[in-house]
Amino acid sequence: MTAPTTAAGGDDFDQSARDAVYRAMFTRRDVRSHFVAGELDDAVLARLLTAAHHAPSVGYMQPWNFIVIRDGERRRQVRDLFLAAREQELPAIEAERQALYRKLKLEGICESSLNLCVTCDRERSRNSPLGRWHNPEMDLYSTVCAVQNFWLAARAEGVGVGWVSIIEADALKRLLSIPDHVTPIAYLCVGRVSEFAPRPDLEAHGWGQRLPLPDLVMSETFHGAGEAPLKSAIARLCGASRPTR
């Protein structure tokens, strides 16, 4: 781990360093099924948290906190919240997909090494909310950037991360004594894994497919058809990677 360093132009990442960054992104998975027993070294967890802490934040607000949860009984209570929430969500799913939904493994709360709740303190910059007068949700987005840094650093360290979003936020706040002005953003399961699956679970199980990226790129306005040379460049990349996704 290299400490934050001095100024640099744009040529300080060589090809292998660039490849490493892309590889972390392409092989990152939302891990549910492949956690293995064992603790995570404090040194590793410290590096992951430092990565999260170097996320961008609106007005340099750094609104995040990180609650490390290891206690087995507390985790079982969180899992109970998940199970209840899943039952509540089920009727919102299309009838013909409910059987598949029930089969999906959507959390690894108890079998991961630890859980991490990443929160956002909405009041941390209350006297000078630079960048939040028009868009007060920017602090939530900053916290998500911290989660994504954590997730990518974890991938590079061989550590799996799964984000549990099927949970009732108010119940979670009560269980973790989170104050009113603090919003839980992500509840993460974190731990060593036996493997990172070659494809996202929801793709492997037929829930969805990766959308064609050229269709998602517009030009100038939301209805702009997109630039043909850029779309071709994207299609070349996607074509190259399709066999292995």
Closest approach of Cβ 205 to a second copy, in Å?
10
Residues 6+ apart with CB under 8 A from 170: none
Closer CB to a second copy, residue 27 or residue 123? 27
Contact indicator for 114, 69 with CB cutoff of 8 Å: yes
Question: Smallest gap, in angstroms, from Cβ of residue 158 to a second copy?
Answer: 2
How far apart are alpha carbons 45 and 160 in whole angstroms?
A: 12
Name which of 118, 113, 149 is nearest 24 in CA terms.
149
CB of 123 to a second copy, least distance (A): 14
Q: Select 108 or 129, whichever has its Cβ closest to a second copy.
A: 129
Buried b vs exposed e over 22-33: b needs ≥16 C-beta within 10 Å?
eebeeebbbbbb
* 212: helix, strand or coil: coil
Q: DSSP state, 28? A: -
For residue 115, with 0-12 CB atoms within 10 Å meaning exposed, 13-18 middle and 19 or more buried, which class applies? buried
In the bound complex, what is the minimum distance in angstroms from residue 108's beta carbon to a second copy? Answer: 15
**CA-to-CA dists, residue 178 to 66, 71, 79, 171, 238, angstroms:** 11, 17, 18, 10, 43
Least spacing, CB of residue 229 vs a second copy, in Å: 5
Q: Is 242 left (phi over 0), alpha (psi -120 to 50) or beta?
A: alpha
Q: Nearest approach, Cβ of 30 to a second copy (angstroms)? A: 5
